[in-house]
Structure 1
């Protein structure tokens, strides 16, 4: 027999009973049994599993149930009546306990609502979100789960702290000394022309922009008339936009009229020429990358003088940056920073993006005036109200992680065999020459490519980098880029750590973005505006054309107040590979150190792009 305490004098008593007492179905006649406890018990329950009995001797209540090795009989004798004062005291204690529990739960709930930066167990949060979007497929696993967890913890602990100043302003005073001054020059245009230059630029909008300005410089060098540039259809970008769909064509022609002659089409007498037959078609294979001006004078000018027309097909990066005469270099700057203004519909929608990122406050800057024109201060199509004053700052980031970039890099991104098959297939269709080369040549292993910083940054890596730089979880972030490879599931880490991250698709209504659908170059123009106008801009791939042009635009018009964050990908890759061992404090210090070192590059290094590094006497003027 075993006893256990229950209140004051009550006790439970148990004893094992013969199974025959419990066997069979219950009859309507009460069963009586003399227990070892000395009680005469009569069954009074119809429950086939547990029977309740009245003890005729004590007035207590008994029950027995099936246990291991037999049946268990238990009793809980009737309790003594408590004094009314005792009952009231216990009732008050119970009521106070309920109130305390209620207040505790209420405090817990409200603290969770007020503290939006509270993160539940970070790794489980990411895994849960990942499973929701991938539906359990073994694809796109997290590559750095430990660092992600540490980043989430650091962001949660950083609530209420200030972000580093160098995230929002350039730290070198000399930056503000550079002023834009490539808008005019003192040369005079020759009266006679040596012929006509046609350019059919390939690639995306940013590569085409570089080709256009290089063509302007070559046209001036050769004393030729430029036909308004054409854009080739690209199998990746799949955009049929013409020059006038993206840029203000008339403004372009008029702005550069003192530099070169620009016409909309060839004269009628030249339109019927078979340019291929007469040898006037010049492709990228005919011109080495970044050819010197002397090449065009020696090789292209004779063709122009003989046939009166030269058609450059592609023309991607075919004019060097050094050595180039200062005035020719300045003409490239004048084209890029002044002559190429986005079409009005792009400016108008771009102004909507910027105002909404600044939470309807109206900014005043030279950059906004050149980028958005009169739409910067005009009333919006939607009737939205905006005010002058200190704007809500935002950071922009260009995440160059579309499938074409992932496939071209030959890197692996944690997706296993399924990912490899998908990228191999895309590469074979869109980059057949690369596929042939990769299959016939011993390539660097994927692990080596990653450790050397040769792989595009994934959303997961970008999230960890931003957290290490000291960005707050509540910071507003504009994300530029086309369709991220891997879709929503690939973005889980980034959107979980930084929930105030938005894209142009989030900011614009379906009606507002409808005119740009199926036109990737025009959508990229909106991203250019969203990034160029940001208070801070993060490059995740220094080789990206959009990032390079945006960085240059901000340096040219920003007055030294618009920082651009350029990660050292090789150093970052080495730190990320220490995912399982490195402590967050050390990781953060080393990431910030690499960032500060990249800030030291102020002038244009020899041979580097004038479009990305305009702070030079060829493009800008240094005051003081």
Structure 2
């Protein structure tokens, strides 16, 4: 239909002039109107089955806003509605006044122009919508292609992760027949069971574990960092042990007898024994072989003679103090508490100076001839202490306390199997396992060129007592929370009461401050970041780790040569030590002290402290110890969801390097942990 149409009104030339002004073609319409012809045409169209075109006049005048058809049309429209209801043409046209309607001249040029202009705008709008729809379709398919590409990339990454983990899971530990067996799939089975089974605490670092797996696989053929198995600073080689040297007359022990009952585990008891030796020398008294109290946590009935060689202990310290196995008969029947000779740890301040014992304990010895130090432990300060008294403490710890032959022999067997029958580490092994270092396949000198024999020992301080006492959250949910609360109630009632009556720091605050023990996941991530190869032999020390084997399952996938004493010893070899936690801890002490590198997870642990000091004293500056700063590591692990592996490596190595160096003993610090001091060690000329 032509759009340039002009209908000239009959009343003048205004409409035509306006139309010509806008360039429309004129079409003249006669004034005369044949109503009969129009009615015939209308009736024929009304009875026609063909639908009316869009160009036909609308049934509703409101469809053309601004186009007034006049009252006649409005009347007709009302009649037409009546016609629809009645079906009578007569009712439709009986009152329709065509002349009145025509006089109003609705067909002016501007009305027609406006009508067709709106028709054109409507068509353009429809065309715009069609074009927009096509453009939207193109955009939709482009977006779909982008999503398909992204999905494919994610699938490739997941496939790569699966392949890398599959490669890692092809290794299994066979400790008594050699460490690596690449054709076995038992580790994969363990991993699958771990993933499907119930775990005591949750996996907190899934992303970091995957990144560590990538790094370990990619670094299989790369050399480890040069300083990984070395203690920093060559100046440390100038220190040598000299606590065995004496230049004082022996003590006669004339001021009565000292009984000592030591509490705690084997390591706390070891410290208590050496402190008691120093106090006996200070007071010129005779020491009775210490008695070990049974711990409510460890529940071990082992006594001094079940762990240490009594004869060697007495004879080695004979030039220093007098030691007897039992009290004289005349003193055994005394009620020590009644006569005032019972002194508990509550009666002695922690880190008491020598003058305290001279003023408070010596008078009791003079009066009653005997004193019982009950629960004795960290009750003697480290400074200020006379030089020879401090040296005596070192002599007791590093020379006088030797494990019994049963423990030494089994400890030697542990070292032998971890090193795969490589020669021993010289004086360190000799002091640990005594004559059993001469056993076949153990005899030999220090040989650091045999790198395949090296192993890393880890003291995983993650027993339930440590976990419960920390008040931290380890991802085990409500079950873990209830279990640890019950343990605190039974074993740490004071802490449980304080937890209910005081507002204690939240688990998140404790973790951010580095107050939580490192989990097995955090420990193995630290090793991967430091650069330890996936083939590294790792000995895990510790009692029953919280969570059991499920806690270590993920670690053995990353480090398949990870073993415990239970893995290395047969059931018959470990049977004599079952139900004796202190003796089992002694085996861990030997394996950790003899390791080429040792890592602790809790710097406050007594075993870690004693092992670290033992390695410094006998290690000749070649036995590095990793002492992680838990607060710095906590800040790094808090970013586990975003930090990249290279940055993680850099920050962990920096944090560990700052604490790896063994410095000279600071003032008031333990000589058992920091023996690098003039009282315990000497410098080479």
Q: Contact conserved, 1:539 with 1:547, CA < 8 A, in 2? A: yes
Q: Contact conserved, 1:177 with 1:623, CA < 8 A, in 2? A: yes
Q: Contact conserved, 2:224 with 2:533, CA < 8 A, in 1? A: yes
- The answer to whether residue 670 in structure 2 is matched with residue 609 in structure 1 is yes
**Aligned-pair distance for 1:144?**
1.3
From the superposition, tell whether residues 190 and 349 of structure 1 become closer, same or farther in structure 2 (CA, over 3 Å).
closer
Q: Contact conserved, 1:126 with 1:493, CA < 8 A, in 2? A: no
The aligned counterpart of 1:209 is 270
From the superposition, tell whether residues 190 and 354 of structure 1 become closer, same or farther in structure 2 (CA, over 3 Å).
closer
**Aligned-pair distance for 1:438?**
1.8
Q: Contact conserved, 1:394 with 1:534, CA < 8 A, in 2? A: yes
Q: Contact conserved, 1:133 with 1:488, CA < 8 A, in 2? A: no
**Aligned-pair distance for 1:191?**
3.4
Unpaired runs of 5+ in structure 1? Answer: 1-107, 118-124
Q: Contact conserved, 1:130 with 1:489, CA < 8 A, in 2? A: no
From the superposition, tell whether residues 136 and 246 of structure 1 become closer, same or farther in structure 2 (CA, over 3 Å).
closer
Q: Contact conserved, 2:243 with 2:680, CA < 8 A, in 1? A: yes
Q: Which has more strand, going by share of residues? A: 1
The aligned counterpart of 1:262 is 323
CA distance in 2, matches of 1:430, 1:361: 44
CA distance in 2, matches of 1:213, 1:417: 44
CA distance in 2, matches of 1:387, 1:556: 20
SS in 2 for 1:197: strand
CA distance in 1, matches of 2:189, 2:270: 43
Q: Give the structure-2-normalised TM-score.
A: 0.71
CA distance in 1, matches of 2:418, 2:609: 22
Q: Which has more helix, going by share of residues? A: 2
From the superposition, tell whether residues 385 and 234 of structure 1 become closer, same or farther in structure 2 (CA, over 3 Å).
closer
From the superposition, tell whether residues 265 and 355 of structure 1 become closer, same or farther in structure 2 (CA, over 3 Å).
same
The aligned counterpart of 1:66 is none
Alignment partner of 2:585 out of 524, 530, 533: 524
Q: Contact conserved, 1:251 with 1:339, CA < 8 A, in 2? A: yes
Q: Contact conserved, 2:459 with 2:601, CA < 8 A, in 1? A: yes
- 1:303-339 deviations in Å (ceiling 9; x for gaps): 1111111111111211111111111110000000000
Q: Contact conserved, 1:188 with 1:258, CA < 8 A, in 2? A: yes
- The answer to whether residue 473 in structure 2 is matched with residue 412 in structure 1 is yes
From the superposition, tell whether residues 115 and 208 of structure 1 become closer, same or farther in structure 2 (CA, over 3 Å).
closer
Q: Contact conserved, 1:362 with 1:377, CA < 8 A, in 2? A: no
- The answer to whether residue 453 in structure 2 is matched with residue 392 in structure 1 is yes
CA distance in 2, matches of 1:492, 1:248: 38
Alignment partner of 2:617 out of 556, 563, 567: 556
CA distance in 2, matches of 1:350, 1:406: 28
The aligned counterpart of 1:620 is 681
The aligned counterpart of 1:281 is 342
How do 1:93-492 and structure 2 match up within 5 A? 132-133=193-194, 135-137=196-198, 139-191=200-252, 193-379=254-440, 390=450, 392-492=453-553
CA distance in 2, matches of 1:551, 1:437: 34
Q: Give the structure-1-normalised TM-score.
A: 0.78
Bigger-Rg structure (1/2)? 2
Aligned length: 505
- 1:211-254 deviations in Å (ceiling 9; x for gaps): 00000000000111000011001121111111111001000000
From the superposition, tell whether residues 378 and 601 of structure 1 become closer, same or farther in structure 2 (CA, over 3 Å).
closer
CA distance in 2, matches of 1:611, 1:500: 31
SS in 1 for 2:346: helix
From the superposition, tell whether residues 606 and 413 of structure 1 become closer, same or farther in structure 2 (CA, over 3 Å).
same
**Aligned-pair distance for 1:171?**
2.1
**Aligned-pair distance for 1:135?**
5.0
- 1:159-185 deviations in Å (ceiling 9; x for gaps): 111112222111211211100000121
How do 1:507-522 and structure 2 match up within 5 A? 507-522=568-583
CA distance in 1, matches of 2:287, 2:473: 44
The aligned counterpart of 1:501 is 562
**Aligned-pair distance for 1:130?**
6.4
Q: Contact conserved, 2:171 with 2:560, CA < 8 A, in 1? A: no
SS in 2 for 1:165: coil
The aligned counterpart of 1:76 is none
CA distance in 1, matches of 2:287, 2:194: 51
CA distance in 1, matches of 2:381, 2:573: 40
How do 1:26-65 and structure 2 match up within 5 A? none
**Aligned-pair distance for 1:411?**
0.9
- 1:355-375 deviations in Å (ceiling 9; x for gaps): 111101221411111111110
The aligned counterpart of 1:93 is none
CA distance in 1, matches of 2:658, 2:546: 31
From the superposition, tell whether residues 439 and 115 of structure 1 become closer, same or farther in structure 2 (CA, over 3 Å).
closer
